[in-house]
Amino acid sequence: MSGYIEAVRGLACELLDLVAEGLWVPDRSVFSRLIRDDDSDSILRLNHYPPMPLLCKDKDSSSPCNHSMVGFGEHSDPQILTILRSNDVGGLQISLNDGAWVPVTPDPTAFCVNVGDLLQAMTNGRFVSVRHKALTNSYKSRMSMAYFAAPPLDARIAAPPEMVTPTKPALYRPFTWAEFKKAVYALRLGDSRLGLFRTEVDEHVG
């Protein structure tokens, strides 16, 4: 398991370096060094969604039953980045800007990468955290492994200077991961945590 954790952490670091490069930030490691730190708060979580058989209300109906129910409710991940791998059972859905939910086709040979709240703050809203949920189905278990890339608790979270301009002022005030984590636990799962850290100029993001 330790070998897998090191591998996905390396993948997360590589992706974050590419994000910094794509945003023209001179220091490519500005994001990735937060999870390379020995005191990183990153975790690997194993999830099991057992089958949840549902009974049709109308046994004589020719319409199929709804074969899924919520296994983990709508939310965004508070960390920097999430790297997810699952078996061949569907269930993950992401929310689009218009509020529509789109299922993610399961592929056990691929990773699903979600932007977290901290990356949204550190890119000053250029990358937006993904709201998603997990559904169960009635006939087969869903298994997933999620690596949540997080900084040390005392890490200062703020957009680098290159991300803040007169036409794109800072959307969020600086905060530590410990402060943000405390807010996460104080709110309900689906609540917007970044909203607590917005500056006055931000009216639409987070």
Residues with a catalytic annotation lie at 142
DSSP state of 196: G
The residue type of 3 is G
DSSP readout, 46-105?
Answer: EEEE-------S-TT--SPP--EEEEEEEE--SSSEEEEEE-S---EEEE-TTS-EEEPP
CA 5 → CA 42, 144, 178, distances in Å? 10, 14, 22
Q: What share of the chain is helix, strand, coil (3-state, %, to 5)?
A: 25, 25, 50
Cα dihedral sign, 147-148-150-152: negative
- Of 80, 78, 31, the residue nearest 183 (C-alpha): 78
Q: Are 135 and 91 in contact (CB under 8 A)?
A: yes
Tokens of 175: 């905060």
